[in-house]
Structure 1
Amino acid sequence: MKLKYILPVLFIALLSTACSSDDDNNDTVPEINEVDGLTMVQEIENSNHTIELYNNSGYFYTGYNDVSIRIKDNTTDTFYEDFTISWMPMMQMPMMQHSCPNSAIAKVPGKDTVYQGNIIYQMTNTDGSGWSLTLNYTIDNVDYSVTDTITVMQYENQNVTSFTGSDNVKYVLALLEPTAPKIGINTMKVGLYKMESMMSFPAVEDFTVTLDPRMPGMGNHTSPNNTDLTYSSVNENYQGNLSLTMTGYWVLNLELMDAMDNILKGEAVTEENTQSSLYLELEF
């Protein structure tokens, strides 16, 4: 065969190979890591499944914990996309046991295998012990359950508090936001729950939480443009504006008022009374 015929044939063969390779690469769908950016806290297993628990820090702390969940089939090593799941956190004390405020668990929009909920641990032992977590779930109309101990560390500042109001009701109040405080106006959110029983902590609606932030190390000065926290039925928590004028340690002095404006807990800050008995802490 003459050279003028060989060269076109080689060119066509090379072009066909290149196009085929490009087509193969285009058909490859990259695997998506649905827990990218999260850190695993713990795996809880039974003979059928492994339940993975994730959050941002990789630890459970006292206060508000946002938790992401996946369930893996131990046989196929794949993750389920459709299931229902609930949980029951439990604190074992010497003479009694109790639960804590916790949300329902729902599938995260836009994700196939990840579900999400939150738990508010109001206390823990000094070594992080005392808590267990039971997960009850259903896959393909079959019910399963798994329980394991978990470690809950004490958060460095007071981001949750339990108290009895003047109405003789026991409450749990927890700081939800800001999680990354900044100088300026921050959206402040708190969750408020009443202890209906040792196992039930429903959210409290239509109260008011007054706010007076102070810096004890700086003459106990306050800041301008704060607003009291009122209930949001959409988010099921209390929201207001928190003004932080500088970095450092802040005490968020609070008063809890019911729907009739009766003060259930806390006091105003004055020259004689430098801190409310109801407060949360923030440092950044």
Structure 2
Amino acid sequence: MKTIKSIFTSLLLISTLISCTEDNDEPMVETNPLESYNLLTAIDANGHTLEVYSEQNQYTIGYNELYFRIKDNVEGSYIENANLSMTPIMNMEMMSHSCPKSAITKTEDSSVYKGYSIFQMPGNATEYWDLNLEYTIAGQTYNLSERIEVIAPADGKKRVNVFTGTDETRYVLAMMPMTPDVMVNDFSALLFKMETMMNFPAVEEYTIEIDPRMPGMGNHSSPSNEDLTFDTAAKMYKGKLSLTMTGYWKINLKVKNALGEVLKGEDVTEENEASSLYFELEF
């Protein structure tokens, strides 16, 4: 009887081991760490598929945070430890130019890379944006380009300003994404100057004064606002935006250089209801 039980137990163990081995032989299904994001572009070239993702469902005027993955089409796997850079180009009828953009860096997931681009204008039927990408894998460098559609924000609100300062320098000022609420909100922006048509270095050590107003409510302002100053750790301008009620707000702006000289923007007074430089939001 003990012998029969021993044989039965051995057969059960062998069966379990075989079953486990067969389960382990099944191919692993790779999960997509960007599954909750929107796939904006997928470019097939050089034996790879380069994917561009965003929380947004479209490239839009203003700040665009972008995520990248590179798939090896032969191996069917995503490539780690690549080096990427991007150069968006606006092709106009008489000229071409780029826009402010960041370096592309690695994220915590080794197959995902991250950067941002700030588009100053939308495309149309005859003037359009190309997204140019260069990437290096194991010492081999590849290039590819894809036409992309850049549109105005769906709500029509102004989140980027392109202006010439009193110093005759061309600037791009972009509001960072935020979820406004009736409170004193963290508020931030990025500022760049146009050094050439293709180069837009970040500007530091300036001040961005804010004066939020509600044009539909007597143009009243709000207390406890803090002007934006450059945060070296975050690499952006940060301040506080006080919103005392829901509705449409115009955030009037003044940009001052390191010497305190006004480069663009005006005070809001009884005679002057708004600055020529502003952001908009509604909630």
Q: Under a length normalisation based on structure 1, what TM-score does the superposition of the two structures give?
A: 0.90
Secondary structure of residue in 1 paired with 2:78: coil
Match of residue 176 from structure 1? 176
1:122-271 equivalent positions in 2, closer than 5 A: 122-126=120-124, 130-155=128-153, 156-178=156-178, 180-271=179-270
Matches of 1:266 and 1:105 in 2, distance apart?
Answer: 32
Report the residue type matching 1:160 in the other structure: V
1:117 aligns with 2:115: yes
Note the aligned Cα RMSD (angstroms).
2.4
Secondary structure of residue in 2 paired with 1:177: coil
Measured against aligned partners, the alpha-carbon deviations of 1:228-274 in whole angstroms (never above 9, x if no partner) come to 00011112210000111222211110000111111110011111111
Gaps of 5+ in 2: none
Matches of 1:241 and 1:128 in 2, distance apart?
Answer: 41
- Identical pairs, percent: 44
Measured against aligned partners, the alpha-carbon deviations of 1:21-54 in whole angstroms (never above 9, x if no partner) come to 6898799987442213211001122132111000
Count of equivalent residues: 280
Matches of 1:177 and 1:238 in 2, distance apart?
Answer: 13
Query: Given the superposition, is the C-alpha separation of residues 26 and 44 from structure 1 closer, same or farther in structure 2, using an over 3 Å criterion?
Result: closer
Matches of 1:25 and 1:186 in 2, distance apart?
Answer: 52
Query: Given the superposition, is the C-alpha separation of residues 153 and 22 from structure 1 closer, same or farther in structure 2, using an over 3 Å criterion?
Result: same
Matches of 1:47 and 1:139 in 2, distance apart?
Answer: 11
1:74-113 equivalent positions in 2, closer than 5 A: 74-108=73-107, 110-113=108-111
Measured against aligned partners, the alpha-carbon deviations of 1:179-237 in whole angstroms (never above 9, x if no partner) come to x2222121111000001010000001100000111111122111111100001111221
| Further displaced range: 67-76 or 114-123 | 67-76
Report the residue type matching 1:111 in the other structure: D
Return the offset for 1:177.
Answer: 3.4
User: Are the aligned partners of 1:69 and 1:115 in contact in 2 as well (CA < 8 Å)?
Assistant: yes
Gaps of 5+ in 1: none
Secondary structure of residue in 2 paired with 1:138: strand
Secondary structure of residue in 2 paired with 1:162: strand
User: Are the aligned partners of 2:205 and 2:257 in contact in 1 as well (CA < 8 Å)?
Assistant: yes
Matches of 1:78 and 1:89 in 2, distance apart?
Answer: 27
1:265-280 equivalent positions in 2, closer than 5 A: 265-280=264-279
Matches of 1:257 and 1:39 in 2, distance apart?
Answer: 37
Matches of 1:230 and 1:27 in 2, distance apart?
Answer: 57
